[in-house]
Amino acid sequence: MEKAAFEGWLESVSTTFLALSDQQRNQSLDHLISLSGAAQLRHLSNRLEALLKRDFLRLLPLELAFYLLRWLDPQTLLTCCLVCKQWNKVINACTEVWQSVCRDLGWRIDESIQDATHWKGVYLKAKLRMKQLREEDAFETSSLIGHSARVYALYYRDGLLCTGSDDLSAKLWDVRTGQCVYGIQTHTCATVKFDEQKLVTGSFDNTIACWEWCTGAKIQQFRGHTGAVFSIDYNDDLDTLVSGSADFTVKVWSLSSGTCVNTLTGHTEWVTKVHLQKSQVESMMHSPGDYILLSVDKYEIKVWPIGCEINCKCLKTLSVSEDRSVCLQPRLQFDGRYIVCSSDLGIYQWDFASFDVIRVIKPQQDPSSLSLLGFGKVFALLFDNHHLYVMDLRTEVTVGRWPLPAYRKSKRGSSFLPGVTSWLNGLDGKNDAGLVFATSMPDHSIHLVLWRENG
């Protein structure tokens, strides 16, 4: 058919087709399709795909495409990456989307890294780590063997664990290798704390001693308590050591001379924890940079100013029940902004500026049997007689747990401790390594829970 004749015929058919009803149009198309060969059907398929299957990711501006992608869950995003090369390219270029899903999993976000491919890789690693936590596969265990009697005291710092025992010795262990680095003869240790040069021990013989690591020599002794010393803390810059005792008192000492500067009274139970920390907030009672001492007994937390040893008065007494019917657990955390302590009713968080209770967390487990190990911005680490628990503080849901053996119980809370705690403020792919938890065992060994390598 000549071109002019074909164009006239096509115009006539088109006019007639537009005058038909929908049903008649469909019948006409069906008839034409039945008369078509492979070339016509292939052409028809390509035309229909272009008309009906509109690729919105290809057609939309990137900003709008990224906005829509933010509404998808991570698994759907990964599935969308498999649709075609163009989709994979667009999704892999959306940094904010992958940062957001990483943040949802409790990962720290470094805003300076704007490589979307990097954050997609981080997400896949984070997803695996959270799966391991859920399936009790994130940790592994090890033991430290060397003491010949009960281990009462533990202290962890920078990959090193110090243990104080009833065998009149203290040992310093490299957690990574399990090797004993130092071992010195001491008194019976109820509490320990160390740095690179020295070890400070509180004892059931009512004294405190300072020992030199390299020689094992006793370089200072502190006498004055009339009961066992359950907790100590010190600050070299302040030349100050503080101690809490079974004699219901808190003592402030000169670290260099060993003399008692002040005795703080007011507790009516054993003082099981003392903690020195700089205030990070302003209030009517303290300013940022002021050193604060917290002391804890069975029912109360007392707040003291440090640097005002003469006529030092308690700034505040905190408790979870006015009638002393609810016991505090022998754990305390204070970062200068918030005080956190577990109790028989749950985990309490106080704002240090106002001393108001700003949060009470009641775990799924029995709060009276649960102890606080660490409390961060994203996660909390808790444990009871049978398990270690990781709680997502944003939802207050347990996201992981780990079985524990029958460890040696301590009412003072000195025979167990957390290891690395930076991951509680958000995982970053590097801080989920090393020691998670340590506790003394009835056979005098130390049971360690460590992060398993995230393969």
Domain containing 62 — which CATH number?
Answer: 1.20.1280.50
Candidates 80, 129, 63, 72; CA nearest to 100 is 72
Given CA atoms 140, 144, 149, 152 in this order, what sign does their dihedral have? negative
How many C-alpha atoms does 96 have within 13 Å on its Cβ side?
11
Domain with 129, as residue range(s), is 57-135
Asked whether residue 16 falls in the same domain as residue 62, the answer is no
Q: What is the pLDDT of residues 95-152, one digit of tens each?
A: 888 888 888 889 988 888 888 888 888 888 899 999 999 999 999 999 999 999 999 9
Query: For position 429, what pLDDT does the model report?
Result: 86
Number of domains in the chain: 3
Residue 266 lies in a domain: yes
Residue 271 lies in a domain: yes
Query: For position 307, what pLDDT does the model report?
Result: 75
Q: Check residues 344 and 224 and name the one with the higher pLDDT.
A: 224
Contacts of 330 (CB under 8 A, 6+ apart): 272, 273, 296, 371, 410, 411, 412, 413, 414
Asked whether residue 219 falls in the same domain as residue 274, the answer is yes
C-alpha to C-alpha distance for 121 and 127, rounded to whole angstroms: 10
Percent of the chain with pLDDT over 90: 59
Residue 40 lies in a domain: yes
CATH of the domain at 322: 2.130.10.10
Contact between 397 and 444 under an 8 Å Cβ cutoff? The reply is no
Q: Check residues 85 and 395 and name the one with the higher pLDDT.
A: 395
C-alpha to C-alpha distance for 168 and 147, rounded to whole angstroms: 9
Contact between 100 and 429 under an 8 Å Cβ cutoff? The reply is no
Taking residues 54-63, what's their average pLDDT? 74
Residue with tokens 């302040």: 238
Contact between 339 and 350 under an 8 Å Cβ cutoff? The reply is yes
Domain closes at, from 314, 332, 350: 332
pLDDT band of residue 84 (cuts 50, 70, 90) is: confident
Query: For position 93, what pLDDT does the model report?
Result: 78
Asked whether residue 128 falls in the same domain as residue 98, the answer is yes
Residue with tokens 């505090």: 328
In the three-class reduction of DSSP (H, G, I as helix; E, B as strand; rest coil), residue 348 is classed as strand
Beta strands in 52-197 (DSSP E): 139-144, 151-157, 160-165, 169-174, 179-185, 189-194
C-alpha to C-alpha distance for 144 and 445, rounded to whole angstroms: 6
pLDDT band of residue 421 (cuts 50, 70, 90) is: very high
Asked whether residue 221 falls in the same domain as residue 317, the answer is yes
pLDDT band of residue 308 (cuts 50, 70, 90) is: low
Asked whether residue 201 falls in the same domain as residue 253, the answer is yes
Residue 32 lies in a domain: yes
Asked whether residue 218 falls in the same domain as residue 325, the answer is yes
Residue 181 lies in a domain: no
C-alpha to C-alpha distance for 59 and 54, rounded to whole angstroms: 8
Q: What is the pLDDT of residues 192-223, one digit of tens each?
A: 999 999 999 999 999 999 999 989 999 999 99
pLDDT band of residue 311 (cuts 50, 70, 90) is: low
Taking residues 348-358, what's their average pLDDT? 94
Residue 388 lies in a domain: no
Mean of the per-residue pLDDT values of the chain: 89
Query: DSSP per residue over 214-264, as a string?
Result: TT--EEEEE---SS-EEEEEEETTTTEEEEEETTS-EEEEETTT--EEEEE
Contacts of 293 (CB under 8 A, 6+ apart): 242, 250, 252, 264, 274, 275, 276, 303, 304, 305, 306
Residue 373 lies in a domain: no
What is the enclosing helix (H) or strand (E) of 435?
A: strand 435-440
Q: What is the pLDDT of residues 359-393, one digit of tens each?
A: 999 887 777 678 899 999 999 999 988 999 999 99
- Model confidence, pTM: 0.82
Residues in the chain: 455
Residue 96 lies in a domain: yes
Q: Check residues 52 and 47 and name the one with the higher pLDDT.
A: 47
Asked whether residue 242 falls in the same domain as residue 300, the answer is yes
Asked whether residue 273 falls in the same domain as residue 328, the answer is yes
Query: For position 310, what pLDDT does the model report?
Result: 56
Asked whether residue 29 falls in the same domain as residue 99, the answer is no
C-alpha to C-alpha distance for 67 and 69, rounded to whole angstroms: 5
Q: What is the side-by-side order of every strand in the sheet holding 338-343? A: 333-334, 338-343, 346-351, 357-361
C-alpha to C-alpha distance for 250 and 225, rounded to whole angstroms: 9
Domain closes at, from 135, 163, 198: 135
Query: For position 309, what pLDDT does the model report?
Result: 56
Asked whether residue 198 falls in the same domain as residue 313, the answer is yes
Asked whether residue 61 falls in the same domain as residue 39, the answer is no
Asked whether residue 91 falls in the same domain as residue 208, the answer is no
Domain closes at, from 279, 307, 332: 332
Residue 232 has pLDDT above 90, yes or no: yes
